[in-house]
A and B are shown apart, each in its own frame.
Chain A
Amino acid sequence: TQLLEQSPQFLSIQEGENLTVYCNSSSVFSSLQWYRQEPGEGPVLLVTVVTGGEVKKLKRLTFQFGDARKDSSLHITAAQPGDTGLYLCAGGTDSSYKLIFGSGTRLLVRP
């Protein structure tokens, strides 16, 4: 059974601080997605990474796919209260129509 473990589960930081969220697995994925979800809403796709070692930037967010395509990280620089939410990683494989979701990291950025 493929699993994605996210850490930390919860993070509370002050505005302006940097943070990193991790998504780890013992399995290889052909793609990995990151989503952000706000309370009472559906998750919104932030990025997809497909190549080992790939780095993508979205404003203050930097996403990296591990060289072996088993792990990924999300780094936020100078966090803002608008970054508050639940961050979910999800992995896909060539043999499946399903995504494997991590359990999520709840981020609170205090003004």
Chain B
Amino acid sequence: SQTIHQWPATLVQPVGSPLSLECTVEGTSNPNLYWYRQAAGRGLQLLFYSVGIGQISSEVPQNLSASRPQDRQFILSSKKLLLSDSGFYLCAAGWGQGIYEQYFGPGTRLTVT
């Protein structure tokens, strides 16, 4: 079985401060990894995905960045947070292409003040 860990669970940060959210995956190796952001009660916006170590694809231009230093580690970062960065951040892992499922972590609630 696959387990996705995310931390921290909640975070309150002032505008202009840096950000680092971490996601780690237990289970099968070589996952595809994803960062999503979700507005309250709404669908998921894909931010970044990675199909291998050091390989990052960005979906939305913004002041966020992602890195994958290890096979099962995915990090979401920002040098300077904006108020609009507030939201619920979800990490997901999937294996394969086309016909596959994604498994989600518990999420991080980020509030930028």
Contact = CB atoms under 8 A, between A and B. Distances in A.
Q: Do A and B come from one complex?
A: yes
B61 interface: no
Interface of B, helix, strand, loop or mixed by DSSP = strand
Contacts of B103: 45
Contact of A99 (B42, B90, B102, B105): B102
Interface in A5-44: 30-31, 33, 35, 40-44
Interface string A64-99: 000000000000000000000010101011111111
B109 to A, nearest CB: 7
Q: Interface size for chain B: under 10, 10 to 19, 20 to 34, or 35 or more residues?
A: 20 to 34
A4 to B, nearest CB: 9
Given A42-B90, A43-B104, A94 B41 contact: no
A103 B100 CA distance: 20
Contact of B41 (A45, A48, A97, A106): A106
Contacts, number: 65
Given A40-B107, A42-B4, A102-B43, A97 B90 contact: no
Nearest to A90: B102
Contact of B99 (A43, A50, A104): A50
Nearest to B41: A106
A63 interface: no
A104 B43 contact: yes
B109 A40 contact: yes
Contact of A31 (B43, B46, B49, B99): B99
A94 B96 CA distance: 10
Contacts of A104: 41-43
A7 to B, nearest CB: 13
Contacts of B51: 97
A79 to B, nearest CB: 19
11 contacts: A30-B98, A31-B100, A42-B90, A42-B106, A43-B104, A44-B104, A48-B101, A50-B99, A88-B43, A94-B97, A101-B46
Given A40-B107, A90-B102, A98-B46, 9 more contacts: A33-B102, A40-B109, A42-B92, A42-B104, A45-B102, A88-B43, A94-B98, A97-B32, A99-B102
